């Protein structure tokens, strides 16, 4: 935190808050501060997601640590007059801890997100004040590349992009590849729908990624770095560009860094909306201007990557950990987490949970702590059913996993995976068969089509799941579904197809009764699959007003004024309009 | 199909030059061209292929592979509905159906009056506001079935 100022206003600038606010709040606050002649003593900092998206926009006044929620333009005068001028807290805007909306940052431990929200990401001085670029200076002036690599190995850091490969080991392998040119690539293609931790790092602390890439370049012997970022993240791109320019100005990127003769430059390449480009070989092809199709490994990028040169690919969050590891030491880092998964992990909590947003927790925390202590439990007090981790490549964890300490290996053993850290929470109203179908629909759209098992197999799997949801499935389909899932997993070319049947296999393992009910009992236990539902009009409540008949888009409702109306089940498309429009609660569902 | 006038050809050539006519920069070139013209019709692709000294097939392959690129002009108000997991769990499917019914077009289509086009996208990271709809740059959060019509009415 910058202490040149009397107070700092941290305005959450995560996308959720930005979009919930009525206009550009930051500009407006700055304008108001000028009006009150406060602009010299008060600094407005654009911070990132504080895991309270559902009550955004949020503003924290620092150092007082008072948080205001659902702030609109019209509240700014109050905050300035009451809090900044008169040191009185504006109670009406303080969010209500009693109602379960309050998340004290309990059990959270910020390493990757250490600066997010505490510095102005567009101001390199703020980063430098927080020991920024110290790690790079230390590496270049005091240690050999081998020593730095050993330190990263010793920290136990594993890749946060999904695979969990030991980062130091990857650097060591790439450093041993002999070539006239090597590359450091930062994978910022974050494609898992529902995960946005990489974006938050890029938007909130871009310099930490640049610094880490330079350190990596020093270790492996590369002088060029490339960030491959999703085109859907315009704010992240803007901040990266600003950061790169500032670092160049300060001589922290470019030639002869810290007078050591070490040279490192960073450029940006853009994705164009293809999930598969997150896979490292596909990403490299995309960087070269081709279709984002994966290729068989080996050769690994460490040996032959971008333009056939040795290339070290790491994820944004992986990089964000590096400066902290160098500054505080491998032993410190290795003291956090579990035996085989060190440090912390950022998760994106979403779905039917009270506190939606990003959290960073030590490896080994239990699901129960995440969902109930940090997440504030399930929306509307409903019953927890499952949480999907690892996005479309992962699986679901259920009640029986609530006390499982979470790390790379325990998640894999439970039939799911860490993935990039998306966590979608589901309650009793969610149908697991539909959920599996949703993920397969995503996969069918995103499969690049290069290998047959993934291109055709996933399509067949999706068709079978649709058949089940439509109430036309047979017991044979269930066997076929499981068998084909295994075949697709075993025979696909890349990680996409090798993991895409996971949502099916894990829901079948944990919720077989739901699959069984769809087939044998012709019902959807959670009542989500429309085809099993029948709408009917009850004699008791229907007054014969004709409203439902008029509103029905397919003309399935017949009846005369003041007489009972009837729904023709053959025609009914189960859109639910009749039920919504009936003022007398005469339309029912079973 | 747009007919390309000379000044537009010059614009495309300038974009290619900015990237040193390097075919490895094809995706960056396409991004910038689409930013300029709104879409990437065949004749535009042809000029890019010529300038980067690559085949039209290569350019078309890339344009059709990546969902960000489009060969159809979008409506004046492009409607984008988030189909990320968080939005799905909170009922995005029904919202999509409502837009389809009201606009009478499918995903990927543009209305006859070229006013609206409909597409879905994956996660804009506003999961706290799910389900989320974007019209142009404006974001609508916690959209309900009833609010769909009201939202569209803003643009009538
Ligand atoms: C289908 C698929 C999608 C992937 N998407 C991403 C992604 O969005 N971001 C990412 O960092 N890694 C992603 N990966 C993992 C990368 O291939 C690669 O392992 C990772 O970038 C390496 O960095 P790390 O060791 O720091 O995790 C994906 C892998 C597969 C198979």
For chain B, where do the domains classified as CATH 3.40.30.10 start and end?
77-153
Choosing from A71, A93, A115, the residue where a domain stops is A93
Contacts of A575 in chain B (CB under 8 A): 97
- CATH number of A224's domain: 3.40.50.11540
Do A216 and A326 belong together in one domain? Answer: yes
Q: How much is the average pLDDT of A539-550?
A: 92
Please indicate, yes or no, if residue A108 is contained in any of the structural domains: no
pLDDT tens digits, one per residue of A300-353: 999 999 999 999 999 999 999 999 999 999 999 999 999 999 999 999 988 898
Is the CB of A271 inside a 6 Å radius of any atom of ligand 1?
no
> What is residue A103's predicted lDDT score, i.e. its pLDDT?
40
- CATH number of A82's domain: 3.40.30.10
Is the CB of A396 inside a 6 Å radius of any atom of ligand 1?
no
Choosing from A308, A334, A360, the residue where a domain stops is A334
Q: Is the pLDDT of residue A376 over 80?
A: yes
> What is residue A101's predicted lDDT score, i.e. its pLDDT?
38
Q: Is the pLDDT of residue B2 over 80?
A: no
- What contacts A218, CB < 8 A, 6 or more positions away? A136, A139, A140, A145, A148, A262, A264
Do A62 and A136 belong together in one domain? Answer: no
How far is the centre of ligand 1, averaged over its atoms, from the C-alpha of A127 (Å)? 27
Please indicate, yes or no, if residue A234 is contained in any of the structural domains: yes
Please indicate, yes or no, if residue A464 is contained in any of the structural domains: yes
- The pick from A162, A190, A227, A296 for probing ligand 1's pocket by mutation, whose C-beta has the most ligand atoms within 8 angstroms, reads A162
Please indicate, yes or no, if residue A109 is contained in any of the structural domains: no
For chain B, where do the domains classified as CATH 1.10.10 start and end?
6-65
- CATH number of A551's domain: 3.30.70.20
pLDDT > 90: what percent of chain A? 67
Contacts of A350 in chain B (CB under 8 A): 85-86, 89, 127-128, 130
Please indicate, yes or no, if residue A525 is contained in any of the structural domains: no
Residue bearing tokens 């994705």? A271
Do A363 and A467 belong together in one domain? Answer: no
> What is residue A52's predicted lDDT score, i.e. its pLDDT?
66
> What is residue B138's predicted lDDT score, i.e. its pLDDT?
81
Choosing from A497, A520, A543, the residue where a domain stops is A520
- State how far the alpha carbon of A542 is from the alpha carbons of A179, A507, A558, A574, B154, in Å: 80, 41, 13, 19, 35
Beta strands in chain B (DSSP E): 77-82, 116-121, 133-135, 138-140
- CATH number of A489's domain: 1.20.1440.230
Contacts of B68 in chain A (CB under 8 A): 231-232, 271-273
Of A76-80, A231-235, B15-19, B57-61, the one with minimum mean pLDDT is A231-235
Quick one: fold of B6-65?
Answer: Arc Repressor Mutant, subunit A (1.10.10)
B141: number of Cβ within 10 Å = 19
> What is residue A98's predicted lDDT score, i.e. its pLDDT?
43
Do A156 and A298 belong together in one domain? Answer: yes
Vertex A229 angle, CA A223 and A233, to 5°: 145
Measured in angstroms, the CA of B66 and the nearest CA of chain A are apart by 6
B101 → closest Cβ in A289, A438, A553: A553
Do A143 and A283 belong together in one domain? Answer: yes
Judge: A438–B69 Cβ closer than 8 Å, yes or no: no
Taking each helix axis from N to C end, the angle separating A206-220 and A197-204, rounded to the nearest 10 degrees, works out to 100
Residue B88, token pair as written in the block: 């799905």
The closest residue, in CA terms, to atom 8 on ligand 1 is A190
**Complex ipTM:** 0.86
Domain count, chain A: 5
Closest-CA residue of chain A to B87? A351
Q: In terms of residue numbers, what domain contains A361?
A: 344-427
Please indicate, yes or no, if residue A439 is contained in any of the structural domains: yes
Q: Is the pLDDT of residue A2 over 60?
A: no
CATH of domain B77-153: 3.40.30.10
What kind and span of H or E run contains A229? strand A224-229
Taking each helix axis from N to C end, the angle separating A167-176 and A206-220, rounded to the nearest 10 degrees, works out to 40
Do A163 and A252 belong together in one domain? Answer: yes
Do A177 and A309 belong together in one domain? Answer: yes
**Pairwise CA distance, residues B87 & B90, whole Å:** 5
pLDDT tens digits, one per residue of A148-162: 999 999 999 999 998
Please indicate, yes or no, if residue A101 is contained in any of the structural domains: no
Do A171 and A276 belong together in one domain? Answer: yes
> What is residue A174's predicted lDDT score, i.e. its pLDDT?
98
Do A86 and A216 belong together in one domain? Answer: no
Please indicate, yes or no, if residue A105 is contained in any of the structural domains: no
pLDDT tens digits, one per residue of A170-187: 999 999 999 999 999 999
Main-chain phi, psi angles of B63, to 5 degrees: -60, -45
Is the CB of A191 inside a 6 Å radius of any atom of ligand 1?
yes
Q: How much is the average pLDDT of A386-396?
A: 93
Give the burial class of A490: count Cβ atoms within 10 A of its Cβ; 0-12 exposed, 13-18 middle, 19 or more buried: exposed
Do A579 and A445 belong together in one domain? Answer: no
Q: Quick check: A422 and A375 in contact, CB under 8 A?
A: no
């Amino acid at each position: 935190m910058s202490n040149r100022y009397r107070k700092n206003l941290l305005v959450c600038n995560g996308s959720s808050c930005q979009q919930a606010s009525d206009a550009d709040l930051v500009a407006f606050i700055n304008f108001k501060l000028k009006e009150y002649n406060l602009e010299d003593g008060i600094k407005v900092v654009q911070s990132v997601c504080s895991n309270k998206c559902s009550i955004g926009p949020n503003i924290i006044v620092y150092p007082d640590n008072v948080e205001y929620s659902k702030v609109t333009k019209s509240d700014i005068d109050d905050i300035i007059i009451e809090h900044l001028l008169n040191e009185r807290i504006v109670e009406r805007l303080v969010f209500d801890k009693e109602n379960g909306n309050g998340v004290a940052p309990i059990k959270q431990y910020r390493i990757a997100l250490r600066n997010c929200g505490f510095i102005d990401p567009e101001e390199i001085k703020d980063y430098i004040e927080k020991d920024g670029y110290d790690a790079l200076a230390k590496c270049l002036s005091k240690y050999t590349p081998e020593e730095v690599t050993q330190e990263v190995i010793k920290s136990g850091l594993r890749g946060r992009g999904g695979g969990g490969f030991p980062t130091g080991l990857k650097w060591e392998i790439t450093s041993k590849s002999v070539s006239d040119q090597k590359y450091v690539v930062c994978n910022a293609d974050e494609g898992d729908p529902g995960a946005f931790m990489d974006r938050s790092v890029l938007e909130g602390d871009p310099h930490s990624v640049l610094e880490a890439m330079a350190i990596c370049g020093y270790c492996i012997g590369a002088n060029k770095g490339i960030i491959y970022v999703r085109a859907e993240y315009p704010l992240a791109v803007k901040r990266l560009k600003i950061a790169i320019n500032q670092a160049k100005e300060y001589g922290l990127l470019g030639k002869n860094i810290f007078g050591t003769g070490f040279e490192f430059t960073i450029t940006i390449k853009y994705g164009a909306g293809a999930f598969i480009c997150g896979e490292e070989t596909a990403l490299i092809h995309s960087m070269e201007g081709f279709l984002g199709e994966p290729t068989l490994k080996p050769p690994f990028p460490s040996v032959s990557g971008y333009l056939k040169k040795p290339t070290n690919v790491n994820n944004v969050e992986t990089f964000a950990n590096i400066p902290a590891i160098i500054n505080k030491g491998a032993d410190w880092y290795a003291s956090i987490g579990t035996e085989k998964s060190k440090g912390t992990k950022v998760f994106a909590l979403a779905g039917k949970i009270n506190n939606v947003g990003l959290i960073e927790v030590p490896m080994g925390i239990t699901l129960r702590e995440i969902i109930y202590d940090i997440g504030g439990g399930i929306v509307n007090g409903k019953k927890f059913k499952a949480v999907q981790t690892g996005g479309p490549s992962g699986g679901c964890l259920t009640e029986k996993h609530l006390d499982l300490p979470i790390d790379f290996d325990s998640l894999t053993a439970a039939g799911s995976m860490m993935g990039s850290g998306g966590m979608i929470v589901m309650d009793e109203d969610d149908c697991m068969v539909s959920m599996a179908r949703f993920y397969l629909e995503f996969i069918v759209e995103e499969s690049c089509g290069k290998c047959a098992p993934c291109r055709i197999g996933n399509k067949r799997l999706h068709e079978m799941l649709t058949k089940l949801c439509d109430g036309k499935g047979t017991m044979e389909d269930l066997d076929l579904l499981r068998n084909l899932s295994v075949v697709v997993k075993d025979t696909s070319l890349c990680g996409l197809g090798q993991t895409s049947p996971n949502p099916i296999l894990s829901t079948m393992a944990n919720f077989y009764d739901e699959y069984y009910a769809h087939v044998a009992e012709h019902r959807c236990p959670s009542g989500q699959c429309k085809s099993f539902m029948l709408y009917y009009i009850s004699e008791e409540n229907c007054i014969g007003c004709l409203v439902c008949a008029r509103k029905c888009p397919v003309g399935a409702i017949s009846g005369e004024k003041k007489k009972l109306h009837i729904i023709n089940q053959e025609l009914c498309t189960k859109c639910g309009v009749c039920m919504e429009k009936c003022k007398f609660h005469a339309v029912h569902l079973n | 199909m747009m007919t390309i006038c000379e000044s537009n050809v010059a614009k495309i050539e300038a974009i290619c030059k900015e990237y040193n006519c390097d075919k490895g920069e094809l995706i960056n070139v396409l991004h910038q061209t689409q930013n300029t013209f709104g879409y990437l019709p065949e004749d535009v692709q042809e000029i890019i292929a010529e300038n980067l000294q690559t085949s039209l097939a290569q350019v078309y392959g890339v344009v059709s592979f990546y969902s960000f690129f489009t060969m159809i002009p979008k409506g004046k108000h492009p409607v984008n509905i988030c189909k990320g997991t968080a939005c799905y769990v909170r009922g995005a499917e029904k919202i999509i159906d409502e837009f389809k019914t009201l606009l009478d077009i499918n995903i990927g289509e543009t209305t006859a009056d070229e006013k609206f086009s409909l597409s879905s996208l994956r996660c804009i990271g506003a999961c706290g506001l799910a389900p989320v709809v974007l019209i142009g740059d404006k974001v609508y959060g916690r959209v309900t079935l009833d609010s769909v019509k009201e939202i569209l009415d803003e643009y009538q």
